[in-house]
Structure 1
């Protein structure tokens, strides 16, 4: 029997960029995220970000963030504190021998709940979709997501729950899941903006949980015939 997952507390869905953040920095981050999502990372200049944020100071990005890498790092990490708190909350409610589905819910649902908490239009999933498509972003992405103890703890528990399957098969399947979840989330985010879908992020979240569970736990018919991937950072 799957453990019951506590309800999401919408009051925890606020963004955070650090104790020294201010309104000007937040406006610039929002402007950058939108432009990156719409046009790609390399196609958007710092000056264009400043203009989109409504400031006449074309050096505002350099003033507030120092350089482009720091701007991107903050865009990648500003949502992580509340997501990690949510993951800890969900994981704490599970038994030690939690099922694969419940462990995956702890990983996936905080990401989906964050997207659901964003105003429409939201841009975060599409921004991350742009990031993961650019090889030069890999080091920034890696530095922004290392030492995520909540994720690492859940991965260890998942590995234990899937220990009856070949390790490389589990690894290969796991590395398929991130791009799948991200790509569908980005597409759904766009369809909501275009009025093609009424927002139902909860349904999307549980669809992902069920689909990922099925992929990870499927029978292995050819244990030595699998697709291997290099190690990649976590996107959600």
Structure 2
């Protein structure tokens, strides 16, 4: 037996196997810094090859999705990724094969899409106002753009409230009939909070300006907790 030839063949197969390990391309704009660090740590521990992409997550993904080519990965591989994703605080995880009618990569490359609904670019429908100096309350932003406050001393009905997002902060403005406005500036913090259903992803908009406005909403931090 030619052991030299056999050894060379084995080494060649190992190198080829390493080269053929699939790569997961991660769309991570909806993750907090903490979640991103935990994800990186878990993937490396499980020896899963990955790359973070700076591209935006397509709007159609409102839950974490793993897309792959048939034969690229095993069911055990998919279950491993699911366990890691749910460990970040997500309740749902979906996986499916790539479709040429949607987002897809070449064979040997997977896409892991975290929903941008968890990102700082979207103002959530339900907000919790707290650290107001008096009582905390809930705010509901309707699909028509109108704001309503529940269990609140503040009447938001008929007010013209608009917001603008920037890199790490956003502005909330209240416009008056004469065209003038008041505004508050908030820094954006993504994190996890503990709930009765376990840890959930959350975002807090924390006041950067003063807290002495006559319009007391501007004196509150705003927080959203995402259930799924």
Same structural fold, with TM-score higher than 0.5 when normalized by the shorter chain: no
Which structure has the bigger radius of gyration?
A: 2
TM-score by length of 2: 0.24
Higher relative contact order (CA 8 A, sep 6+): 1
Query: Higher helix share goes to which structure?
Result: 1
Query: Higher strand share goes to which structure?
Result: 2
TM-score by length of 1: 0.23
